[in-house]
Chain A
Amino acid sequence: MIPVADFWNSTVGKKTVVAVTGTILVGYLILHMVGNLNSLFGPGGAEPRVDWYSGWLREIAEPLFPYAGVLWLARVILLGSIVIHITGVLQLNSRNRAARPSRYPARRIGRSWESGTMLVSGLLVLAFIIFHILQFTTLSITVTPLEHGAVYFNLYNAFQEWYFVVIYLAALVLVGIHLRHGIWSLVQTLGLDSPARNRGIRYGATALTLVIVIGFALVPVLFWTGVLGAPETEAAIASLAGGTA
């Protein structure tokens, strides 16, 4: 049996758990980003591609799993990962602070500023995640019209407002800051690096970060600039007409 408690109680073990949960979260981000790119197929008449995709997500592995079963499974894993990730990080952080007399030494030598701001970038990302779920999952932020199941419609409306575009782009910058250090760091923490590969891993982490950030950023930017047009479903047209009347 693996002595789980011993592993979790050591600094190296706990950090390994932070890295594994971080990897799960990064993996999810990549899938989520690719999924979002379905919006780029545009309004597409009766059913926008991204609406179809959203429905499909709920039907995966039916009838083996109940409706939205896999989706809920993913949600549970993600919530668990975030909770464990943050718990580990906060515990490590308090240990690290205790190991160091305060304000010493003043001079920092050669660490990247991303690495020094992981806690801040992480907590701001957490705040964004909560806001984001309230907006597009629970549809609770009703500044712009939102409809159940009408993903394209919801995105289109939200990203006509400059402030939502700014919030999403700002959050992506924070995710980028977190991941530029995080992705390299997890490779190091898991000990998957080797002297010969280390430079490549650094560049690879930056490249993957850029792909994730740009991939996500395309959606708000293309809606805002009008490249992705208004939804064309009847319900949407009716709703928009009602909204402006």
Chain B
Amino acid sequence: MKFKLEIWRQFETGEEGHFETFEVDGIDPEASFLEMLDQLNERLTGEKRRTVAFDSDCREGICGSCSLVIDDTPHGPRQVTSCQTYMRDFEDGSTIRVEPFRSTSFPVIRDLVTDRGALDRVIQAGGYTGATTGPQPEPNSMPVAPEVQERAMDAAICIGCGACVAACPNGSAMLFTGAKVTHLNLLPQGQPERANRAIAMVDQMDQEGFGGCTNFGECSRVCPQEISLDVIGMLNREYRRGRLGKRPKDPPAMRAQ
């Protein structure tokens, strides 16, 4: 296959960026988007030109490193990570626009690479548990109802890629933070820090300059893990309860089978 690529070039943070056009040819339809960029970079190396910088690690959709905005959509057209986006999903001969995830809180480091450290600092503020690791507890000593476990795991699958921030017209990180709070606040291990977790994480989120939620729901539409907007409702609830000094509601108890 053959494509025309308009790629965002920016040498370093703060520099004014621009789009540069490249042509690629002989692309296997089964190549992933990142493999297509690899091919371009090999050619650029051969021509002694500066390669296009982009982030990737696992290339199997679980690490959350890859972060391209493809044709104005974070990650690309299929609601999967950029590394899981395949060239067969694009029309042969078409022009594809590639940009970094953008938000005031995600400064561009180079080309398509952004610094998403702001999300790490939100995690540091409250996205942890103090439970000791070590031998597994006896399972029946701390039962978790299946519905609770399901909700917690549906949130826990967040890979922290930041596509939600890139998609949000407000540059808000509420889906990310909501997923972390839902995951940890529902499970027994997360209970000791629960009262303060949402407050600490929201405060950090605000300090990092992320915007607020206006319930547009665009974050959820691009999330490769299909995290539901429900986690934002949960975050709002946990934050309010924490601030008003109310004891958090216990997750529903285990019912006898």
- A residues with CB within 8 A of B: 2-3, 6-7, 9-16, 92, 95-101, 104-111, 115-116, 118, 181, 184-185, 187-195, 198
- The reply to whether B103 and A108 form a contact with Cβ atoms under 8 Å apart is no
B80 CB to nearest chain A CB (Å)? 14
Residues on B facing A (Cβ under 8 Å): 69, 71-74, 99, 102-105, 151, 166-172, 174, 202-203, 205-206, 209-218, 221-222, 228-230, 232-240, 243-245
B215–A189 CB distance below 8 A: yes
In the complex, which residues of chain A have a beta carbon less than 8 angstroms from the beta carbon of B232?
188
Residue among A16, A105, A107, A187 with the highest chain B CB neighbour number at 10 A: A105
Partner of A115, one of B172, B174, B215: B215
User: Which residues of the other chain, A, contact B245 by a CB distance below 8 angstroms?
Assistant: 2
What residues of A have a CB within 8 angstroms of the CB of B229 in the complex?
Answer: 188, 198
Q: Is A100 a contact partner of B104 (Cβ separation < 8 A)? A: yes
CB distance from A223 to the nearest CB of B (A): 37
Given contacts A188-B232, A191-B240, A193-B230, whether A111 and B104 have CB atoms under 8 Å apart is no
A interface, over-half SS:
helix
List chain A residues, Cβ under 8 A from B217. 110-111, 115
The docked-state distance in angstroms from the alpha carbon of A187 to that of B168 is 20
Q: Please pick, from A2, A11, A98, A100, the residue contacting B243 in the complex, using a CB distance under 8 A.
A: A2
Closest 7 CB pairs of A and B: A191-B237, A11-B212, A99-B171, A99-B211, A96-B170, A107-B72, A96-B211
Decide: A115 near B210, CB < 8 A? Known: A106-B72, A109-B73: no
Residue of A9, A95, A98 most packed against chain B (CB within 10 A): A95
Contact B170 A12 (CB under 8 A): no
If over half of B's interface residues share one DSSP class (helix, strand or loop), that class is named, otherwise mixed; here it is: mixed
Counted as pairs of residues, one from A and one from B, with CB atoms less than 8 Å apart, the total is: 144
A104 to chain B, nearest CB (A): 5
Chain B residues, Cβ within 8 Å of A118: 214
Query: When the two chains form their complex, are residues A116 and B216 in contact, meaning their CB atoms are under 8 A apart?
Result: yes
For B169, give the chain A residue with the smallest CB separation: A100
CB distance from A27 to the nearest CB of B (A): 19
Docked CA distance A198–B215 (Å)? 13
Evaluate whether A107 and B215 lie within 8 angstroms (CB atoms) in the complex, with A100-B170, A191-B236 already known: no
Q: How far is the CA of A100 from the CA of B217 in the complex (A)?
A: 16
A16, B170: Cβ atoms under 8 Å? no
Report Cα–Cα, A106/B213, bound state, in Å: 19
CA distance A98 to B105 in the complex (A): 10
Given A10-B203, A10-B206, A111-B217, A100 and B212 contact (CB-CB distance below 8 Å): no
Assess whether A190 is in contact with B236, with CB atoms less than 8 Å apart. yes
Picked from B73, B171, B222, B237, the residue with its CB within 8 Å of the CB of A100 is: B171
In the complex formed, the residue of B with least CB distance to A14 is B212
Q: Is the beta-carbon distance between A107 and B105 smaller than 8 angstroms?
A: no
- In whole Å, how far is A149's beta carbon from the nearest beta carbon of chain B? 43
Are A15 and B216 closer than 8 Å at their CB atoms?
A: no
What are 14 A-B pairs at a CB distance below 8 A? Answer: A12-B174, A100-B103, A105-B102, A105-B167, A109-B167, A110-B218, A111-B216, A111-B218, A116-B216, A189-B215, A189-B236, A190-B236, A191-B240, A194-B233
User: A192: which of B170, B228, B233 is its contact (CB, 8 Å)?
Assistant: B233
A99 touches B105 (CB 8 A): yes
Whether B214 contacts A194 by the Cβ 8 Å rule is no
- Within the complex, the shortest CB–CB distance from A87 to chain B, in Å, comes to 14
- Bound complex: CA A7 to CA B206 (Å): 12
